[in-house]
Each structure stands twice: as structure tokens, then as C-alpha cells.
Amino acid sequence: MKFAPRILAGFSLLASTSASSATTSYKPKYRISPIDGSKIALPTKEQLDFQDKEIGVLVHFNIATYISIDGCNDVPNLVPKVSLFDPTLLNTDQWMDTVSALGAKYATLVAKHNCGFTIWPSDVTFTDRENKTVPYDYTIAESPVHGKNVVRSFVDSAEKYNVGHGFYYSVVVNNYLNVQNSEVRPNTWAQGQVNITNGTYDQIVFDQLTELWTNYGKLTEIWFDGGYSATQQNKIQGLLEEKQPQAVIFNGCETNGTCISQNSIRWIGTETGQAPEENWSTGVTNDGGDPTSPYFCPAECDTTLQTNDRWFYGVDQPLRSIEEMIDVYHKTVGRNCLLELDLTPDRSGLIPADYAARYKQLGDFISSCYDKPVAPTAKHTSNNKGDYSIKFDYPTSIDRIVMMEDQTDGQVIRSYQVHAKVVDALDANGTLAVPFTIVSNGTSIGHKKIDIFEKAHTVTEVMIKTTYVDKPKWRSVSVHLCDRLAANGTNTEAD
């Protein structure tokens, strides 16, 4: 769920810092093209490792699960009663069963959303405007399931299932503390809200992030939904360097290069689950990126399983069809974008059965279609002109191609054409005509590009021709035949 997100970028660290020091200085890390002198942005290992995960989940489970609207967004006086939070069947292992069935490799938990409720028993105390030291008492510890810690259970289950774990903590909105856009609203507060100063709020944010980033192991991803304020930046940045330097950061930088991490991931600019056809691993804008940018900054595509952009569990909320979710996969992972799909436990604390079935349908389709290529004994070769060819032992039917670029030294391919020797038709003389014809083309490949042809073809050879700013290093190329699997996988509806 977006709130004017800031932009991400990739950076090389120039100066060390601590939680109390001044802002760390980062500069873009790049090399110069030996062909045209352009800048080729260079990734961090953490960015490449994160791209390899391809699919993750964003777990929306908080006190907003128990209200009719989708969170406390844009309702600044809404502070749902603590007594609402009562997940009597809570089981985070059951969540991870669904994560695994989907094929997701990481899970990011909404530890605190905009209502202000924390699903771990925060020990933070602060001074209110009456100069009294009070506890942050809008937490699971004051709920009907006091004694439980959802964050701890989530982390333990993720580690048990070998799933990377991370946290979402919104710093720009906190209804409990009467905060909107990172500032306490002046001269007004509603029932259930606590009256504090802006400086106190910044300290609470820092103290709660310290709890999350200190007590729950190494994090895979950290979410800043809407970014962070200028007054929070220095301390958050220092805390990241001290506690979680390996984590990738969603919404950690601005377009001017002001950022809090070198391991940056950018938002794609939409929550529909659709990246632009031309989507680069570089650039710091909320769109398809920029191949000329010196910032390596992969895109992440977050979207929902529920319809109508619903993130928290909605009673009787319909689900998107398996056909649509397969399309989402191809227009995210298949377009060089990480897919972060919302995972939505219900009010009992479990993933509903029909939701779990839909996630598994998507996971089953992906594995059935892409785990094994057709013609595994075909001959693969590449040359010093950037071309890649696959020669088959016999005429082979295919309907798509998966291309992966080795981005260790940056993303260098700028365009490509996929040619194939198609043997579906005879020429005018009745002899077999096998010319090369173009079956797909595009620009960015990056981590992964999936091209689905207009129709299936029977071919004897496939050739990829490219333009580039340095000789490409291919990571892998494979061809598949999957239309029949897509049809077989869409017979069961859960809506």
C-alpha cells in the first residue's frame, strides 16, 4: 500500500557511520562502457541475490485485519480498539506452507501499519506533552492474545521453512500518536490518541526500529512505505549500517541521490502487478527505469491477490482469477521485476483455504511451465558478437523463451531479436522452407525476460541477436511449451 513513496538507487559506501553520526555519503557505483563511453551501473551482491529470489510475499496482518475498511489510511482519527485483535487460531507455520506452495523465497511482515498497532510487545517508553513517562501501550501485549509475539513466531517459522524474512514499518503515519506525513497534527487529537511532540515521535520510531532490527536476526528486506522524514533520516541510516547492512531497502532513497542504503530496490509505480515491457535494473524513478542511469536499482512489483487493491483481509472479498495471476507473473518476473504478492491471513490468524488454493495454483503453474525446458539435450552456444543460439536434435515445438543476463558487471544488453528456423510450412515448390524469422524482440532483459510468442512454433534452431554497451554475459536461455499447462491450470476457480 503506497503513500507517496520515495525513490531508490544503488550506491557505493564512501564513509562509515554509526547510529548517532551524520549522514553517510553515497555515490553511484558504475563503470565506463568500452564501446560508447556510457556509464554502466554496477550492482551490490545483495541486490543480485534479491533479484534471484524473484517472488516474495508482503504479509498484511495487523489490527486493520479486524475492521471493515482497508487499514487506517486517510482516516487520521481512527484508532481501532486493542480488544479487536484476537487471532484465536494463529499459526505462522501455516502461513509458510502457503509461501512455500507459491514458490516465494522471502516474506516481509507488516509489523506496524498506519493505525500504530505493533504486533510485537514493544518495550518502548516515551514522554508525553504532560511530561509523564508512559509506555507505548498500543501493542499485542494489551490485546486478548497478550503473551504472544507475532513477529517472533513469523521469524521462527520463516527460518524453519528457509524463507528470507523482513519487516514493514510505516514511519510516515501513526494514528495512535496522531501523526500524518511524519508530523504530529497540531492542536487536535481524538479519543485513543496520545499527545506528543515531533521530536518524541522521531525517537519512538528510532527505538521501535531498533527493537525490530536488533532482536529478530538478519533481515532480507526492509520496507519504508512512503519513505521517511528529513529529521529521521540520519538516525535511521546509521541504524541500518549498524544493525542490518545486508538488507535491501524498499523506498530508501530520493531521486536526487539522498538515500539511506546502497542496497536499494525501487517501486515500479503501480500496484496492479504489471511492469512496463521495457523495465531496466537501473534508474531511480517509479517506472521502467533508465538504461543510461549510473544507479543500479532493480524494481519490485507489489500487488494483491484480493480484488480492488485490497491488502488486509476483507470479509467476502473476491480473489483475482488464476488466469489473471499467471498474467501478473509474466508481466512482473517475466519483465525483470520482483513480484511481491500480498499474503492475507484472516481474523482467525490463518490463510483461508481458498486463498491458499489460489497461491498454490500459481506456484504449480510456474513450476510446471518453467522448471524444466523442452529439448534439454539441444546444443547451446554464444559468440563474441553477443549472439546466442540453440540448435535442436530434431524439430521441436516451443511457444516461449526465457532469457537471463549475467548482471555481475552491470546490465549491458540494450535490445534483442529472437529469430527461429520455423518448419511449420512448406515453400511454393513443396520443399521444406527453413529460413530464420523473427518470433519476438525487445529491449531490456536484465535478471529475466520471458517472451511468449503469438503462437506455438516447431523449430530446428533459435538465435538471439543483441545490441549492447559491452559484450553480454548470458546467464541462461531456455525455451518452453506451456499453453496446454496454462489451460489445465485454470479450470478451478476460488472466487
CATH number for the domain formed by residue range(s) 379-488 = 2.60.120.260
Q: How far apart (Å, rounded) are the C-alpha atoms in residues 300 and 458?
A: 35
pLDDT for res 168: 98
Res 228: pLDDT: 83
- Give residue-wise pLDDT tens across range 333-358: 999 999 999 999 999 999 999 999 99
Name residue 23's amino acid.
T
Q: Please state the φ and ψ torsions of residue 230, each to the nearest 5 degrees.
A: -60, -35
Question: Is the pLDDT confidence value at 58 over 90?
Answer: yes
Summarised one tens digit per residue, pLDDT across range 320-332 is 999 999 999 999 9
Question: Which pLDDT score, from 0 to 100, does residue 129 have?
Answer: 85
> For the residues 47-76, what does the mean pLDDT come to?
97
Query: pLDDT band for position 432 (50/70/90)?
Result: low
pLDDT for the residue numbered 187: 82
pLDDT at 485: 54
Least reliable range by pLDDT among 301-305, 412-416, 485-489: 485-489
pLDDT score of 24: 54
For residue 229, name the pLDDT band (cuts at 50, 70, 90): confident
- pTM equals 0.92
Which pLDDT belongs to residue 230? 85
Number of Cα atoms under 13 Å in the Cβ half of residue 475: 19
Quick one: pLDDT at residue 2? 47
227 pLDDT band, cuts 50/70/90, is confident
CB under 8 Å to 429, separation ≥6 — which residues? Answer: none
CATH for 12-370? 3.20.20.80
In this prediction, residue 487 has a pLDDT band, given cuts at 50, 70 and 90, of: very low
* pLDDT tens, residue by residue, 123-181: 999 999 889 999 999 999 999 999 999 999 999 999 999 999 999 999 999 999 999 99
Burial of 492 (0-12, 13-18, 19+ CB in 10 A): exposed
CB 109 within 8 A of CB 168: yes
CA 329 → CA 248, 270, 338, 366, 494, distances in Å? 22, 15, 9, 8, 18
| Predicted confidence (pLDDT) at residue 23 exceeds the cutoff of 80 | no
**What is the tens place of the pLDDT at every residue in 364-394?**
999 999 999 999 999 999 998 999 999 999 9
With a cut of 50, say whether residue 196 has pLDDT above it. Answer: yes
Flag the least confident range among 8-22, 370-384, 423-437, 440-454. 8-22
Kindly report the average pLDDT of the chain as a whole number. Answer: 91
DSSP-assigned beta bridge partners for residue 107: 57, 165
Report the pLDDT value the prediction gives residue 154, as an integer from 0 to 100. 98
The total of other beta-carbon atoms located within 10 Å of residue 52's CB is 12
Q: What is residue 251's predicted lDDT score, i.e. its pLDDT? A: 81
Residue 425 has a pLDDT of 57
Domain ranges of the chain: 12-370, 379-488
CA distance 280 to 295: 11
Q: Which long-range contacts (CB under 8 A, 24 or more apart) does 314-317 make?
A: 314/70, 315/68
